[in-house]
Structure 1
Amino acid sequence: MHFSLRSFQLCSIHLGVALSLCSTAAYAKKDESLEIIEVTAKRQAYRGNFDVLETPEAISEINQQLIENTGVAGLTEALDLSASVSRQNSLGGLWDSFAIRGFFGDENVPSGYLVNGFNAGRGFSGPRDLSGIERVEILKGPKAALYGRGEPGGTINLVTKKPTFEQQGKIALEVGSRDKRRLEADYSGGLTEQAAARVIGYYETGDSFRDTIEINKKGVMASVYFEQSDRSVWQYELEAARQEIPFDRGILAIGGNFDMMPIERFLGEPGDGATVTEVLGHQLQWQYEFSNDWYLNSGLSYRSTRLTGTSSDAEVSPARQKLYYNGRTLTRQRRQRDYDTDQFVIRSEVSGQFDTGSIAHELIVGIDYDLFDYDRDYRVYRSPALSTNPTNEQLHAIDIHQPLYGQHALPTPVPAIVRVQKQFATGLYLQDQMRLTDNLHVRLGGRIDRLKQTLDDKITNFDAEQSETHFSPQAGVVYQLSDSWSLYSSYGEGYRLNFGTDASGQGFKPNETKSAEIGTKFNLLDNNLGVTFAYFDSTQKNIIVADAANPGFHTAIGQASSKGFEFDVTGQLPGDIDMWFSYAYIDAQVDKDAKDTGLGVALKRGDELLNIPKNSASLQISKQFSVADRALTVGVGANYVDERLGQRGSDFYLPSYTVANMFAKYDLTQQFEVKLQVHNLFDRKYFPNSYTQIWVQPGEPRSVDLALSYKF
């Protein structure tokens, strides 16, 4: 990948020119025939054309209004609104990492997600900014029978904002606590009678509540819509972003003492500088309508990412960690990362309807190809063992109570992992949902993948190759009791390729998931309020764990299970009150004795999984009033997260917490809007996730943001 700051600037210049051309074209041709408010794809790949009540699965949708009202700008914060999703190890804030229904993917890489149905979350593009995102779909349960290669507990799909033919735009300026400044612009308009374009850009800078930490990020998204004919539509989308984020492992909470130090204290090294993440992505889609009943949906995507930076963070090995002996001197390791990924995806899908006698069919048949290339250069400095009586300089140490940055020369990391890994997957999938009667639907489907993985280790000159074929089935039943109430049950299997090899050079078997689900969906209050209740029972195997007999290597023997239920309510209550409520009970545990990958501790059957709360809930409500003949919207919300295991193989738990938020927005004129948002309203001290007692992430204290936007 060769996406540099210069290429980002050039891309921004080109998009600026395109924006000017869009504006000129829209100004030059203000024809009544162009009064189209929004362009949307006729249907999404892998999804078909089903009503929510006809789908034998639980789906949550965080729409644009909820995103704007709650004031979340990042994917992780948006997913906090769903009780089914819990935060995981984000590698010091460098990426999005989450578990769905208690299951997470490989903790050493970001959690996967989709953008418009394309795999897009596997690289190192940094935390995803939500500018340019129309809605966030949480598709629960294993989806490998259609999507392939998804995360075990479900799939996140981001749907982007589309161009409009009507000229319209928005500029927003936001200022807030800790010197936050954010500028966002969005412009869309018609180029011709058949083509429209949209450009969205953002720039944000500010300080963290953490000492010495500053954040700088910028990005641009552009899209073009071209209606070739009444039956043929093309869409192209560009994503480019760059973020500078210091690596931050958080605070210490030895023995569960969360008052051991102020949450503002940074224990890294400011001299390491920021870690930089970059992304450049392209998507091209073509939708063709053969008839009123049959469609072709084809597309390709190319996305390159890069992560570079150096960090100093707490050493986890007791044999090297001096803090465990004197209570104030923290041994640190120094690590240098240069991760480079390229991903290419191509797909083609036909969907449509037909009848066989009295049975109506909704058929989806498709083929796709996915190439993921991961070039990793990882270097580490680790101090000598304490038994050798090393100096504080050799320990790269810092005093946790009186930190003095830059006290010693920064040690030079040495190569630990330098390798190129590639994954190839070609899949063929089919799904048929049959309407046997007016009320009874049966869904059958499956996917077969031909998988290949290669590894080239530059340090050991070791090469490995793995190939296999994998089949993922799915089945579901929906019974509609009425037009507004349905019952459903489903079974599905999921999988995800595991990176690397074992000590003998053999590739790992894929991480596999089996899940059964039963639930009900119904609409209330004249279909203004939607309710979903689901019970699920899942198992996961071939989890990567450390190979105790071969230090430095891993083996895929881990096994876990997760079961529980979810209750989601969204829509409008009487009195025009908008509501979002999500609750989940998740019992996730280890099913097979193993050894932890990083900490070298025993995992016993029945142990809880890391960072998975048993109970969690989110409630957001808002109402619009009229003040001086202008709209005033006021809303409040709260997220509750139960206590959860904070370090494997221990009794260290993160405490439960409730965080409240509020917002108010007012239309000053038809064009100007002002919005006030308060996050963590009562300034609660909380800790969303951790990996060990010395890597604990504190939550942000109360922050206040004020935004002024202008629409044209």
Structure 2
Amino acid sequence: MIPSHYACRLSVLSLSLAAAFSAQANDNSAIETIEVTGERQAYRGEFTHLQSPEAVLEFDAELIESTGLNGLTQILDMSASVSRQNSLGGLWDSFAIRGFFGDENVPSGYLVNGFNAGRGFSGPRDASGIERVEVLKGPKAALFGRGEPGGSINLVTKKPTFTSSSAFELTLGSRQNQRVEADVNTVLSDNLAGRFIGFYQQEDSFRDTIETQKQGITAAFAFEHNERSSWTYELEYAEQEIPFDRGIIALQGNFDFMPIERFLGEPGDGPTTTMVHGHQLQWQYDVNDVWQLSSALAFRQTELDSLSSDADVSPSRQKLYLDGQTLTRQHRSRAYDTDQYVARFELAGDIEAGGFKHHIIAGIDYDRFEFDRDYRVARAPALSTSPTNAQLYALNIHQPVYGQHTPPTPKPVVVRQQNQWATGMYIQDQISVSDSLQIRIGGRFDWLKQTTDDKIRNLSAEQSEQHFSPQLGLVYQLTDNWSLYSTYGEGYRLNFGTDHQGNGFEPNQSESVELGTKWSLIDNSLDITLAYFDSEQTNIIVADVQNPGFNTAIGEASSRGVELDIAGQLPGDAQIRFSYTYLDAQVEKDSIDTGLYVGIKAGDDLLNIPENAASLQLIKHYKIYDKNMSAGIGFQYVDKRLGQRGSDFYLPSYVVFNLFAEYEVNERWAIKAQVHNAFDRKHYTNSYTQMWVQPGEPRKIQLSTSYNF
């Protein structure tokens, strides 16, 4: 039964969709519609696959819907360049691109329509409302601003069109999976269109006692002021209930130590709740046939509230290390709130100067991020004091009895208000030296400010930085369908927190070099990219050996490797997405891990980063009795990965196969089926320590039916 407050929210969703459908049902026969042919993406420019000195892999809505994936993390699994990281018990999306993952204590950042909209604590991102996911590899700081050297993820949302349509889809699947999704596009006038997308999902887990529930809505309006001017407004709202789940224990590398179904938390803690609501307003204006102006404003608010009970990793408190059955647990609470404000103004176009054609992108942007954090922990006393099981908040992992001990009251560890401001100016010039040779020169200058108010220590700190990020690139087109490219770029981001003196950390900085070649084959319907990259990152947060309990920014790491991406159409009405990455990612300087306080040596592997990874999605389209049908297969291979820093604990490699098919009963009605992990292979996707290992999902079957009108 759905609680009353969710029923109210779903009623609002239903009324919104009904209103949109009602508007659509009005007589629009006399309306002269303006068809939206496309939207220019900020920071990107208008370059073909062969002209751009960078590697990009995209997953469009058709592929996402065919495979039955409805989460961002699962979609990113289709890129071998992206690997899963610590998701804090499933509370957010966390990933590394080309081996680098940023701050593991906060969600991985991503872009939405070019905005830094992935910051905050909105829970795992749902795929509803996403038109495509772009994996933009390599350093992007010269244009995007703050970023990792491995690359950025950009989500392009579904926009209204001036053709009325509606689609409803119902999905049922394994473990009581139930999902309903609606997409209503309506023409409101001759120059105004709206699109409303809503979803509701609830399901059990293969993990004992775990249930999840989420719902959300996106609403978008497109206003075509005239042939040169257009406005777009988008609203995002979503809520989720996600139990905190650190996974299983693989003591001393024994992955059969306990069943993958066993939950080691406390059901009485209740679910973690996350909420997000955001707004984006964009204006695009064609100054003339050559120059375009793009400006935008965005606001996004997120909240996370959580109680959790999970394994303590400290040897001085963990009784499991002694008897192999009694798990010492810690009790933690989190109340995180964020607000983000973004503004952007960009001008793009072409000029002739010095006998060359210049493709110019120039702009200014502003980003303010406010993070209010209240984090509390209750830990057991040291084993040397002979504590009782109640004091250890213990759980027998072989015969768990939930609710046996009263949870201890968490005490404040971090109560902090942290604000970041960033104002940047950027310019990029891609110069056509000849028909074959193009040179890209770009740079960005940022003014950064960060304030920290530590409410426990009664300390305030302020940090100001100025930073220039250059970008250089070269593209040489050997033939009409073959080009070579090289690029160099630098990146940076501010590190959260303060050192033992209350001062802000030095910004995290990186630099990267990339060499590659691209092909466009089969009448430009198949794109192939082969790339070699070499990146270094400095000022990574590590433990301060001289001041125990505090951190410092002295860590260094490197990542180098080779990638192959193949995407597009094959002969015989087939589609392919293939991705392979060989990666050598390692620590470059001795340090101490901030979480486990264990030594890390130069040459150690980076956490959760496989040396080899590959992914394939292959779809074939058929005609059966004049009806459209498609069938596909996908697989993901992930090599063994370091599962705990400062140790020889590795997660085993795995291969997972997926099957999917769709049959159009008629022009409006279609049915779909997907089988994830078809051979029911046991696998482990990521870990932080042998005490916190995330098992992958067993075989899952989904059946869907959709109706379009």
Indicate the TM-score class for this superposition, using the shorter chain for normalisation. Answer: over 0.9
Aligned residue in 1 for 2:87: 90
Matches within 5 A, 1:270-281: 270-281=267-278
1:613 corresponds in structure 2 to: 610
**Which residue type is aligned with residue 473 of structure 1?**
P
Residues 314-349 of structure 1: CA deviation (Å, up to 9, x unaligned): 001100000001111000000000000000000101
Find the counterpart in structure 2 of residue 301 from structure 1.
298
Amino acid of the residue matched to residue 230 of structure 2?
V
1:572 deviation in Å?
Answer: 1.7
Is the counterpart of residue 266 in structure 1 residue 269 in structure 2?
no
- Which secondary structure does the structure 1 equivalent of 2:684 belong to? coil
Q: Does 1:30 align with 2:61?
A: no
- Determine helix, strand or coil for the equivalent of 1:355: strand
The answer for the alignment partner of 1:61 in structure 2 is 58
Residue 340, structure 1, aligned to residue 337, structure 2: yes
Question: Amino acid of the residue matched to residue 51 of structure 1?
Answer: T
2:109 matched to which residue of 1? 112
Structure 2 counterpart of 1:101: 98
Distance 1:568 1:7 in 2: 46
Partners of 2:639 and 2:137 lie apart in 1 by: 21
Q: Tell me which of 111, 127, 146 is aligned to 2:124.
A: 127
Distance change in 2, residues 1:10/1:455 (3 Å): farther
Kindly indicate whether residue 287 of structure 2 is the aligned counterpart of residue 290 of structure 1.
Answer: yes
2:670 matched residue in structure 1: 673
In structure 1, the residue matched to 2:170 is 173
After the TM superposition, which residues 470-485 of structure 1 pair with which residues of structure 2 at under 5 Å, given as runs?
470-485=467-482
Shift of residue 528 of structure 1?
A: 2.1
Alignment coverage as a number of residue pairs: 707
Q: CA separation in 1, counterparts of 2:649 and 2:4?
A: 46
Equivalent position of 2:245 in the other structure: 248
Counterpart code for 2:274: T
Structure 2 residue corresponding to 1:376, chosen from 348, 373, 389:
373
Check the 8 A contact 1:34/1:190 in 2, yes or no: no
Distance, in Å, in 2 between the alignment partners of 1:668 and 1:116 is: 35
The normalised TM-score by structure 1 is: 0.98
In the alignment, which of 465, 470, 478 is matched to residue 468 of structure 1? 465
Counterpart CA distance in 1 for 2:5 and 2:134 is 31
Counterpart check, 1:548 vs 2:545: yes
Could you report, residue by residue, the CA deviation over 1:560-584 in whole angstroms, capped at 9, with x for unpaired residues? 0000010001112222221111000
Distance 1:360 1:606, change over 3 A: same
* Partner of residue 199 from structure 2, selected from 196, 199, 202: 202
Question: What are the within-5 Å matches in structure 2 for residues 177-576 of structure 1?
Answer: 177-576=174-573
**2:473 corresponds to which letter in structure 1?**
G
Cα displacement string for residues 214-270 of structure 1 (whole angstroms, at most 9, x for unaligned residues) = 000000000000011111100000000000000000000011100001000000000
Classify 1:75/1:532 alpha carbon distance in 2 versus 1 (closer, same or farther; 3 Å). Answer: same
Identity of matched residues, %: 62
Question: Deviations 1:22-57 (Å, cap 9, x if unpaired)?
Answer: 33443334237556665632x111111111211101
Unaligned 5+ segments in structure 2 are none
Contact 1:8 1:241 in 2 (8 A): no
User: Residues of 2 paired with 1:303 and 1:217: CA distance?
Assistant: 19
Distance 1:279-1:573 versus aligned 2 partners, 3 A rule: same
CA distance 1:407–1:8, shift in 2 (3 Å)? closer
Deviations 1:59-112 (A, max 9, x none): 111111211121110000000000000000000000000000000110000000
* Alpha-carbon spacing, 1:9–1:355, altered in 2? closer, same or farther (3 Å): farther
Question: For residue 689 of structure 1, what is the aligned residue in structure 2?
Answer: 686
The equivalent position to 2:642 in structure 1, one of 642, 645, 657, is 645
Change (3 A) 1:175 1:6: closer
After the TM superposition, which segments of 4 or more aligned residues of structure 1 sit over 2 Å from their partners? 5-40
What SS is found at the alignment partner of 1:586? strand
> 1:606 deviation in Å?
0.3
The answer to whether structure 1 residue 144 and structure 2 residue 149 are counterparts is: no
Cα distance in 2, alignment partners of residues 6 and 418 from structure 1? 33
Q: What secondary structure, in the 3-state scheme, does the structure 2 residue paired with 1:501 have?
A: coil
How far did residue 509 of structure 1 move? 1.2
Deviation digits for residues 387-412 of structure 1 (CA, Å, limit 9, x no counterpart): 00000000011001101101111111
What code does the residue aligned with 1:241 have? Answer: A
Aligned position for 1:630: 627
- Partner amino acid, structure 1, of 2:681: R
Contact 1:253 1:259 in 2 (8 A): yes
Q: Which residue of 2 aligns with 1:40?
A: 38
Shift of 1:9: 7.7
SS of corresponding position for 2:88: coil
Residue by residue over 1:185-228, the C-alpha shift from the partner in whole angstroms, topping out at 9 and shown as x without a partner, is 00001100000000000000010000000000000000000011
Pair 1:214–1:13, CA change in 2 (3 A): closer
Cα 1:18–1:191 shift into 2, 3 Å: farther
Paired residue secondary structure (1:52):
coil
Deviation at 1:605, TM superposition (A): 0.5
**Do the aligned residues in 1 keep the contact of 2:178 with 2:203 (CA within 8 Å)?**
yes
Q: Which residue in the other structure is 1:592 paired with?
A: 589
* Mapped partners of 1:672, 1:248: distance in 2: 38
Q: State the distance in 2 between where 1:173 and 1:34 align.
A: 33
CA RMSD of aligned residues (A): 1.4
Give the stretch that moved more between structures: 58-67 or 266-275: 58-67
Report deviation, 1:151.
2.7
Unaligned runs of 5+ in 1: none
* Distance in 2 of aligned mates of 1:694 and 1:22: 49
Q: Which amino acid aligns with 2:427?
A: L
Contact 1:201–1:218 (Cα < 8 Å) also in 2: yes
Task: Please identify, of 352-361 and 15-24, the stretch whose mean Cα deviation from structure 2 is larger.
Answer: 15-24
Residue 119 of structure 1 aligns to a residue whose secondary structure is coil
- Contact 2:579 / 2:616 at 8 angstroms: preserved in 1? yes
Amino acid at match of 1:472: S
CA, structure 1 residues 61+282, in 2 after alignment: closer, same or farther (shift >3 Å)?
Answer: same
1:661 to 641, 658, 663: 658
Distance 1:480 1:283 in 2: 38
AA at the equivalent of 2:619: S
